[in-house]
Chains A and B, each alone.
Chain A
Amino acid sequence: EVQLVESGGGLVQPGGSLRLSCAASGFTFSSYAMSWVRQTPGKGLEWVSAITGSGNTYYTDSVKGRFTLSRDNSKNTLSLQMTSLRAEDTAVYYCAKEAAAAGTGYFQHWGQGTLVTVSS
């Protein structure tokens, strides 16, 4: 059974940093692209970043230069380093598994999410 467990969310001040992690199990982690998708009541669902099985990364424009996505295939772990956080980054962040190593763009499995709140 595929399991994705996010951690690392919390309250951070504007301009601060946070590192989200996603522990994956139940599948061959290195064979699938992975993404982070965030959700807010106001903006709905928003794709944030993706990484292919081989490590190529992609970001939505609003987080480029501030967020860094990485993966450790030996530890089955996905990490999102978030810096220069803004109020508009406040959201529930979901770790999501795609359907192929190169990425398919749709999300077969999702974690339960971790809440990030950016506020002073």
Chain B
Amino acid sequence: DIVMTQSPDSLAVSLGERATINCKSSQSVSHSSNNKNYLAWYQQKPGQPPKLLIYWASTRESGVPDRFSGSGSGTDFTLTISSLQAEDVAVYYCQQHFNTPNTFGQGTKLEIK
């Protein structure tokens, strides 16, 4: 199974500042046939299910604010929130959808400083 490791485990950022969360996979999740990176990001607020933010590493899901962006390829990926808003407080997870079983990172808790 592909192991997904996120860093940091928790993060405190001031309102309006940039937040960066990293995700590393134990093997490449890039497909040479289509040059796609099979990496998704989710946001989970307390008492709610996860919400899809990003897929194919950098494609924003419909309705997701453009302050959220994803980047990276191969084994190293980043979720960036360009200007943190109060409603962005949540736990963020990366997930590889390259092969079965799909696996998730352990989560990064994002708080306001």
A-side residues, CB < 8 A to B, are 44-47, 50, 58, 60-61, 94, 99, 104-113
User: B100 touching A44 by the CB < 8 A rule?
Assistant: no
Main secondary structure of the interface of B (DSSP, over half): loop
The one of B61, B102, B104, B105 that contacts A108, using a Cβ cutoff of 8 Å: B61
Question: With A105-B98, A106-B97 in contact, is A99–B106 under 8 Å at CB?
Answer: no
Task: Determine the distance from Cα of A58 to Cα of B99 in the docked complex, in whole angstroms.
Answer: 11
Instruction: Indicate whether A110 sits within 8 Å of B61 (C-beta atoms), given known contacts A44-B104, A44-B107, A105-B97.
Output: no
B95 is an interface residue with CB less than 8 A from chain A? yes
The residues of B that contact A47 with a CB separation of less than 8 Å are 100-104
B55 at the interface (CB under 8 A from A): yes
**A105, B49: Cβ atoms under 8 Å?**
no
Contacts A44-B107, A45-B93, A46-B104: A107 and B98 contacting too (C-beta < 8 A)? no
Q: Chain B interface (Cβ within 8 Å of chain A)?
A: 38, 40, 42, 48-52, 55, 61, 93, 95-107
Residue among B40, B49, B103 making CB contact with A106, cutoff 8 Å = B40
Q: A94 touching B93 by the CB < 8 A rule?
A: no
Nearest B residue (CB) for A113: B49
Minimum distance in angstroms from A119 CB to a CB of chain B: 23
Residues of chain B contacted by A109 (CB below 8 angstroms): 52
Q: Which 9 A-B pairs have the closest CB atoms?
A: A105-B97, A110-B49, A106-B40, A45-B104, A47-B102, A106-B97, A60-B101, A106-B55, A105-B102
A61 touches B101 (CB 8 A): yes
Complex contacts, B42 vs chain A, CB 8 Å: 107
Contact check, B100 vs A58: say whether CB atoms are below 8 A apart: yes
